[in-house]
Amino acid sequence: LQVLSLPTRTNFRSVTKREVALFQGPNGWGEFSPFLEYESAEAAYWLASGIEAAFGEPIQLQREQIEINATLPAVDSKLDVAEILSWYPGAKVVKIKVGGDLELDIARIKNTLAINPNLLIRLDVNGGWDLKSALLNLHDFHMRFGPVFEYIEQPCNAISELKELKKEVPMKIAVDESIRKFINDDHSELGECADFAIIKWQPTGGISHALKLVNE
């Protein structure tokens, strides 16, 4: 078992370092790295995923390479945006964290497209808007930038608000927290409020559990 403290390149939600526990099993290394604010019940899924990786049945890989998106945190200047995007050579899609200051969010999107107008944009709100704010902001974004958005990730937390939003905005909606914060709930309603499901293997307890969620 090795515990590491890794400094982050940017300040993400007031986090400037990540503490990671690594442990070795017959399959190789497993990782346990939940965020500090997670309670034990939520962090347990992260531990289970690491145990599965190190000690579970080996997973049959379907491909050797996948495309990734660049991730752009809440940085302000064009120079900061350019530097961060340079870390992702070849990426065709950028996920931009929004939901704080609207004018800064708009500037971040403008700066991204000024650097590469061919990029597709994913906006990640992390459930930070209510329905009224989401409607106003997304219509504003669409009028300013047009069809550059691949999807909007978790604009609202409430399923009822997401259903209404999906009817009213021209962008596609993705859900993340609606799945990983409620892993054992019935997810049958999500098809009525979202076009994409973001399913991450670590917060859902491992590859096997993630595949089970996918099949639901």
Q: Which residues of 5-32 are buried (b: 16+ CB within 10 A; e: fewer)?
A: eeeeeeeeeeeeeeeebebeeeeeebbb
Identify the active-site residue in 17, 92, 97, 163.
Answer: 97
Identify the active-site residue in 132, 172, 200, 212.
Answer: 200
- Other CB atoms within a 10 A radius of the CB of residue 143 amount to 8
Based on the residue annotation, tell me whether 92 is a catalytic residue of this protein: no
The 8-class DSSP code of residue 186 comes to: -
What's the CA gap between 107 and 151, in Å, rounded?
19
- The residue among 36, 44, 46, 31 whose CA lies nearest residue 15 is 36
Give the chain's length: 216
Any residues with CB less than 8 A from the CB of 105 and at least 6 apart, and which?
A: 96, 98, 99, 137
Based on the residue annotation, tell me whether 110 is a catalytic residue of this protein: no
Please state, in angstroms and as integers, the Cα–Cα distance from residue 86 to each residue in 89, 94, 111, 192, 199, following that order: 6, 12, 13, 37, 26
Helical (H) or strand (E) element with 17: strand 15-25
Q: Which residues are part of the catalytic machinery?
A: 97, 200
